[in-house]
Structure 1
């Protein structure tokens, strides 16, 4: 993926920002700049940029539990902030999160935000101001601050103590290409995170919180309702409670949490007791304890739907596990589910307790 060129602008310097990256801050810093420029910013407070970096990474870290790296300061800050303020939930709206962070009087959170000022704003401009032979990091930092104030080397922005000023010659480019520039950032971010999470599925779709989570009404009515009609009742694999379609004492749930698999394929969905579902949250099932019952219910539901309507579109979901869906093999199902549970646990998802 390449950035659009523009006469008289050093696009090569902007493109080279991600050339040597060991942390996520560069991606989120540039995304924050673009978003705030879109909102009319020219002189942008650093604190506003830092809070935007936090809010843009919040859901990826807290809900999807993507690892940025043990030494990544952005992940450290997000993890610290959510522990410091119990009012900042995983699902908090982005605008409310930013408002809370900007107005906070919590010294620990203030320090976490201020910490980004030590490196982020000036090191991002390194392509415009490469190190001079014999120059220390501190000398380079001071030079970047001094030279950027006059927009030397057609730098993207000027650095001041508490804010940055966007170089006017870059404004049209940033605004007219905002979507493409953000896509460029997220594309590079996805590549960066995939190397640190090699076994985690669907990294690109875990970088932005969806506006609305897709419901499971169609899967319920077009697949599991047929199973209920055939069996009359289904036993919850976790609590052994009898579930009835008409009584609606069940909820369709992901066996391996949606927060990890990031899909609604039918082979990972089962009805479970509604009360239990509300407490289960995104905790993992215990494979040795729950898989056999899960598989038996899945196999039974598959056979019922196949006999009822062999062209049911949800049957095709099983092709991701079975090359031949006429052969519903337990071992192949196990070979798909068990690694997902193990990897999810390694990424920070907890197992269910007392079940």
Structure 2
């Protein structure tokens, strides 16, 4: 994916800022700049930018548990601030940013300003090549001084506590903000996918969705039919008898990991238990057999009464052949579920007690 061309600006330098990327800093740094320029800020406090970096990574780290790599301190900063500020993993960005921008906690300030050591000036390195024999301290000072006169048409001027966007770049950034963000997210997706090769749907875990998808269709056109046939269903976690008008539909493997609502991962559970389960993982030894038995029973009922039900096709990922009830094999189902649970646990999801 290429950036929009400009005859007046060194766009190639901007693209080159993402060369040899070993952490997510540069992606979130430019994203923060774009968001604040869109809001009309051209002289931008660094703390606002660092806060945006954390704010934009918050949900990806805390909810989806995507790994940024051992050397990436954005992930560490998010975890530290979550604990020290006593925040929730699902706090809205609009509420999070003022906290980050104004917190008096030393640990929060240190977490934010750690990024000041390298990110602001290294991002400008394509505009200012390092001179032979020049040490990092001298190089940093030169970039700061040269940027303040917008040498080489660099993107911004660097000062101790703020940056100033180069006026020549303002129109380009505003006019192409959406494309630039797509460029950032595309490259960030590729970067994170290499560090999370077994985690599904990385692209949709970079931005907090405005709302979770409704499970109305799965409830009305699948599980309600099962309840009408069986009368009651026992919750696989609490053994509580569930009825058609009193059950919650939940993900066996957390939605935060699989990032989908496919029918083979949904199961009716006790409403009160659902409110405390959060995104914890099921214990395969304790919960899988009950989950499989209920899934198999539900499949057989739907296959009998509504064989053309579109939701049945969602089992194709586990069972390539759906032409008979006999295809619902225990071993194949478990072999499809177990690796996902293991990978999710390795990425930081915890098991139910």
> Normalising to structure 2: TM-score of the pair?
0.98
Deviation at 1:103, TM superposition (A): 1.4
The SS at the match of 1:164 is: strand
Q: Match for residue 36 of structure 1?
A: 36
Q: Match for residue 183 of structure 1?
A: 182
Q: Match for residue 231 of structure 1?
A: 230
Q: Match for residue 242 of structure 2?
A: 243
Bigger mean CA deviation after superposition, 324-333 or 167-176: 324-333
Q: Match for residue 252 of structure 2?
A: 255
Q: Match for residue 217 of structure 2?
A: 218
Cα distance in 2, alignment partners of residues 103 and 215 from structure 1 = 36
Deviation at 1:321, TM superposition (A): 1.1
The SS at the match of 2:125 is: coil
Cα distance in 2, alignment partners of residues 104 and 228 from structure 1 = 51
Cα distance in 1, alignment partners of residues 266 and 89 from structure 2 = 23
Cα distance in 1, alignment partners of residues 342 and 90 from structure 2 = 25
Q: Match for residue 150 of structure 2?
A: 151
Which of 303, 312, 334 does residue 315 from structure 1 map onto? 312
Q: Which runs of 4+ in 1 moved over 3 A?
A: none
Is there any run of 5+ residues in structure 1 with no aligned partner, and where? none
Q: Match for residue 6 of structure 2?
A: 6
Is there any run of 5+ residues in structure 2 with no aligned partner, and where? none
Deviation at 1:80, TM superposition (A): 0.7
**1:121-200 alignment, distance < 5 Å:** 121-200=120-199
Deviation at 1:316, TM superposition (A): 0.9
Cα distance in 2, alignment partners of residues 335 and 152 from structure 1 = 59
Q: Match for residue 27 of structure 2?
A: 27
The SS at the match of 2:82 is: helix
Q: Match for residue 278 of structure 1?
A: 275
**1:330-345 alignment, distance < 5 Å:** 330-345=330-345
Cα distance in 2, alignment partners of residues 70 and 84 from structure 1 = 21
1:70 aligned onto 2:70: yes
Cα distance in 1, alignment partners of residues 231 and 159 from structure 2 = 69
1:108 aligned onto 2:107: yes
Cα distance in 2, alignment partners of residues 80 and 279 from structure 1 = 24
Deviation at 1:336, TM superposition (A): 1.0
The SS at the match of 1:18 is: coil
Cα distance in 2, alignment partners of residues 18 and 321 from structure 1 = 38
Superposition CA RMSD, Å: 0.8
Cα distance in 2, alignment partners of residues 229 and 20 from structure 1 = 58
Deviation at 1:16, TM superposition (A): 1.0
Q: Deviations over 1:280-332 (max 9, x none)?
A: 11110011211111111001111111111111111111111111123212222
The SS at the match of 2:124 is: coil
Cα distance in 2, alignment partners of residues 186 and 329 from structure 1 = 39
Q: Match for residue 16 of structure 2?
A: 16
> Normalising to structure 1: TM-score of the pair?
0.97
